[in-house]
Structure 1
Amino acid sequence: ELNDLQDDLGTLASAQYRSGGIDPSLQLFLSADPDSYLDKASTLDQLSTKQAEGLQQIAEKKRTLNQQKAEAASKLDELDETRTELGKKKKEVQAKLGEAQKLLNSLTAAQRASLEAAENRANRSNERVDLGNDLPASSLAAAALSAAKTKLGSPYVYGATGPSSFDCSGLTSWAYAQAGAGIPRTSQSQANAGTRLSMSQLMPGDLVIFYGDLHHVGLYAGNGQVLHAPRTGTVVRYESINNMPFQFGVRI
């Protein structure tokens, strides 16, 4: 658009240059047909006005373009930072996976069977959980928790945000979205999305943040229970809040 405007203005300027740029009063004095000259002068005046408008448009376009360039440069810097951060996170995850695999390989067959049985019992225990009579923190929290309950039994898939599978923060962000509230995507960002709470202040629907690096989040369901998507190989389920290192709650 900027190039088109500049081309149009350049064409007009070239035409004026070819006319010789003689002083208007002298052109009128030399003209054999003053009426015709005055008509042309009126047209030239209109063209000058158009030129001025064109120059103003070009200036505005340039300002807009410069602003967009600056914004694009800023976005590229942010993307570079994000890419670097994701690279670090990937290495951390790979290291943790390596440690977990070593631990898993060290288990005896009996220990593996016991662990698998415990996971299966946890995945099947959703129907028998006593959530008590705690009141939700707000109608928003109640709606989010209610939405999350409809996903009990859905499989955990890393990076999934629903509607058929979830990771931990995918479940909480999906639940609040169903309630009409947008919250950040990751557990670390969700940790800063509202008012922080101690364990005694938790009410149903509040977010619950776990682990020192804040990498896990769930929804407080009441009576010491958390509704969450635990990890690969599990499903969305209830679990005691004491089974994981509690950090703090967050009220949206």
Structure 2
Amino acid sequence: MTVTAGGLILHAPAAQAATTGDSARTSTANAATAATTGRSVKVTTARSAKSARIARQKAKASTAVAVAKNQIGDPYRYGAEGPGSFDCSGLVQFAWKKAGVKLPRVASSQFARARNKVSWRSLKPGDLMFFNGLGHVGMYVGKGKMIHSPRTGERVRIDKLGGWRRSSFVGAVRPGL
């Protein structure tokens, strides 16, 4: 059998080989495109997963801040975990628990066990801020303020982060990430 291809006359076995060669080249090109696309899909998927994780953390942080704000006016009581009265670490533990995040009980453990450390400049609402050699913790609520349960005789309140707080700042963590 004879086949005409582009002005050339080919016999059947040669025509089949030429056609097979073209399809092999096309298959190779398609495989290369698929491999490249596969890599970009993996990168896009990883970015999407990270974005989703950050969005979930932000939603949890918003819940934790709202819960903590609802405790404004509750009295400080050493070792108290609420509801009704809190010490500093009990307040942030209670708020984050309501947001679905488990935290250790005491401030030093809350700092030590958290993987996501944050600088003063990178603070976002919901971040836990530690002071006085890890002896005190509060929750950043935004706009240069934090909510905390200060000490015996005081009540849960929001304070500005002024000079003294800045000088006694040890570090901060971002729970729920």
Q: Does residue 1:167 correspond to 2:90, yes or no?
A: no
Distance of 2:116 and 2:94 partners within structure 1: 20
Task: Please list the CA deviations of residues 106-148 of structure 1 after superposition, one character each: whole Å capped at 9, or x if unmatched.
Answer: xxxxxxxxxxxxxxxxxxxxxxxxxxxxxxx611111111110
**TM-score for both structures, normalised by structure 1:** 0.45
Residue 205 of structure 1 aligns with which residue? 126
**Which of 149, 158, 172 does residue 249 from structure 1 map onto?**
172
Task: Please list the CA deviations of residues 68-103 of structure 1 after superposition, one character each: whole Å capped at 9, or x if unmatched.
Answer: xxxxxxxxxxxxxxxxxxxxxxxxxxxxxxxxxxxx
Distance of 1:240 and 1:191 partners within structure 2: 21
**Which of 91, 102, 126 does residue 182 from structure 1 map onto?**
102
**TM-score for both structures, normalised by structure 2:** 0.63
**Where in structure 1 are there 5+ consecutive unaligned residues?**
1-136
Q: Does residue 1:228 correspond to 2:148, yes or no?
A: yes
Residue 27 of structure 2 aligns with which residue? none
Residue 69 of structure 2 aligns with which residue? 149
Distance of 1:178 and 1:232 partners within structure 2: 24
Matched residue SS, 2:172: strand
Aligned residue pairs total: 116
Q: Which runs of 4+ in 1 moved over 4 A?
A: none
Residue 34 of structure 2 aligns with which residue? none
What is the letter of the counterpart of residue 246 of structure 1? Answer: F
Structure with more helix by fraction: 1
Structure with more strand by fraction: 2
CA radius of gyration, larger in: 1
Matched residue SS, 2:109: helix
Shift of 1:226: 0.7
Shift of 1:162: 0.1
Matched residue SS, 1:248: strand
Shift of 1:168: 0.1
Distance of 2:146 and 2:95 partners within structure 1: 14
Identity between Structure 1 and Structure 2 (%): 45
**Where in structure 2 are there 5+ consecutive unaligned residues?**
1-56
Residue 28 of structure 2 aligns with which residue? none
Distance of 1:216 and 1:241 partners within structure 2: 14
Q: Which has the higher contact order (CA 8 A, sep 6+)?
A: 2
Shift of 1:247: 1.3
Matches of residues 35-50 of structure 1 in structure 2 within 5 Å? none
Distance of 2:150 and 2:61 partners within structure 1: 20
Distance of 1:195 and 1:165 partners within structure 2: 28
Matches of residues 46-61 of structure 1 in structure 2 within 5 Å? none
